[in-house]
């Protein structure tokens, strides 16, 4: 994963988790090397057989309760061992009070401590999701992404083939724009999520019109911030010599960040209603997700009909 700084973690979650910094004199520049989180109860008790020190350390009621009861030489020894590790940061949950000597040793070791009023399970879950998302592989693609009947449809093609015009017609038909011209794609586990470039968000460039604001013209219902990519459609100028798919039996895929998504190539020429073809492709993909494959079912019926006719002819002879 790409290394994330504690500062980036704090900036990304300070509103959502109401994070505050308990050690303001300590820099937040340390890097987080793992998307996992760790509850350091065993380490604080003196067991270091396995200590995931390079993770964000979450201190809940159990850890803080144990710290308050830890006394004498054992406390000094355990805390000295604990702070000898290069821990990226610690987050204390439920707005708990932290022992003064623990904070002092954290400052001496230059380990930042953050605090949240929320319960431990919520903090742990959201920190994990945030770090995983921040470290996910990503790329920018010249394409247009729309939500068509709930199917994230990535429309690709050479410049001037009509991607934006097709998208504009789909928006007028009450589908939603995610991104035009530049689609920021991020791999999250085994799915692809697409979003708009920050500068171009909700805007489209239409030749002859210029830059238009889709949200302002069509309303908030015509846009969405991000969408899972379920289908890729390539628009290309019709080539007379090329054989295009006519039955739909052959399943083509398009590889993005090592994830394969269904891929269709739609030839463009005067008289073809491309937006309605994209709508139909999205609906057809929804059927396939539900386990219905119209082309395969039609082919199977055709084979069965031919088989019956062949058997009848054999009986007649």
Which residues are CB-neighbours of 165 under 8 A, at least 6 positions away? 206
Q: Which residues pair with 253 in a beta bridge?
A: 262
Of 71, 246, 258, 317, the catalytic one is 246
161 annotated among ligand-binding-site residues = yes
H helix intervals, the chain: 6-13, 41-44, 61-69, 72-82, 100-108, 120-134, 163-172, 214-218, 274-289, 294-316
44's tokens: 């604080």
Residues 6+ apart with CB under 8 A from 181: 142, 144, 164, 197, 200, 204, 205
Was 46 annotated as part of a binding site? no
Selecting among 119, 142, 272, 301, the annotated active-site residue is 142
Is-catalytic flag, 163? Answer: yes
205 annotated to bind ligand: yes
Q: Please confirm, yes or no, whether 181 is among the known catalytic residues.
A: yes
Does 159 show up as a binding residue in the annotation? yes
Tokens of 250: 């052959």
Of residues 30, 115, 175, 181, which has the active-site annotation?
181
Catalytic residue from among 163, 176, 224, 227: 163
Rounded CA separation 97/84 (Å): 23
User: Is 165 annotated as ligand-binding?
Assistant: no
In contact, 264 and 234? CB cutoff 8 Å: yes
Assign residue 208 a region: left if phi > 0, alpha if psi is -120 to 50, beta otherwise?
left
Q: Is 84 annotated as a binding residue?
A: no
DSSP line for 113-146? EEE-SS-HHHHHHHHHHHHHHHTS-EEEEESEEE
Work out the angle at residue 292's Cα, subtended by the Cα atoms of residues 287 and 293, and round it to the nearest 5 degrees: 95
User: How far from chain centre, in Å, is Cα 161?
Assistant: 29
Would you say 138 and 186 are in contact if contact means Cβ atoms under 8 Å apart?
yes
164 carries a ligand binding annotation: yes
Query: Residue 315: how many CB atoms within 10 A of its CB?
Result: 7
Q: Which residues are annotated as a binding site for ATP?
A: 157-164
Q: Which positions are annotated as active-site residues?
A: 142, 163, 181, 246
Q: Which residues are annotated as a binding site for Mg(2+)?
A: 164, 205
Q: Which residues are annotated as a binding site?
A: 157-164, 205
């Amino acid at each position: 994963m790409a290394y994330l700084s504690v500062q980036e973690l704090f900036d990304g979650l300070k509103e959502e988790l109401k994070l505050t910094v308990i050690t303001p004199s300590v820099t937040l520049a340390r890097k987080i090397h793992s998307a996992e989180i760790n509850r350091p109860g065993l380490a604080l008790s003196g067991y270091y057989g396995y200590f995931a020190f390079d993770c964000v350390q979450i201190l809940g009621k159990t850890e803080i309760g144990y710290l308050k009861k830890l006394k004498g030489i054992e406390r000094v020894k355990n805390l000295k061992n604990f702070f000898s590790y290069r821990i990226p940061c610690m987050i204390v949950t439920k707005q708990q009070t932290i022992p003064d000597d623990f904070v002092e040793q954290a400052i001496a070791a230059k380990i930042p401590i953050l605090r949240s009023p929320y319960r431990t399970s919520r903090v742990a879950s959201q920190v994990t999701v945030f770090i995983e998302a921040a470290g996910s592989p990503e790329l920018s693609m010249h394409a247009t992404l729309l939500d068509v009947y709930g199917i994230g449809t990535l429309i690709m093609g050479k410049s001037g083939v009509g991607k934006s015009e097709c998208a504009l017609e789909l928006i007028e038909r009450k589908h939603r724009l995610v991104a035009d011209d530049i689609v920021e794609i991020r791999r999250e586990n085994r799915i692809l999520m697409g979003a708009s470039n920050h500068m171009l968000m909700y805007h489209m460039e239409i030749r002859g019109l210029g830059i238009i604001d889709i949200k302002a013209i069509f309303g908030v219902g015509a846009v969405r911030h991000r969408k899972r990519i379920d289908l890729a459609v390539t628009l290309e100028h019709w080539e007379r010599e090329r054989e295009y798919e006519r039955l739909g039996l052959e399943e083509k895929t398009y590889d993005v960040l090592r994830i394969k998504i269904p891929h269709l190539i739609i030839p463009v020429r005067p008289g073809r209603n491309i937006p309605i073809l994209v709508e139909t492709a999205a609906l057809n993909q929804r059927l396939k997700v539900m386990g219905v494959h119209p082309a395969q079912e039609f082919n199977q019926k055709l084979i069965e009909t031919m088989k019956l006719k062949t058997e009848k002819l054999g009986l007649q002879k």
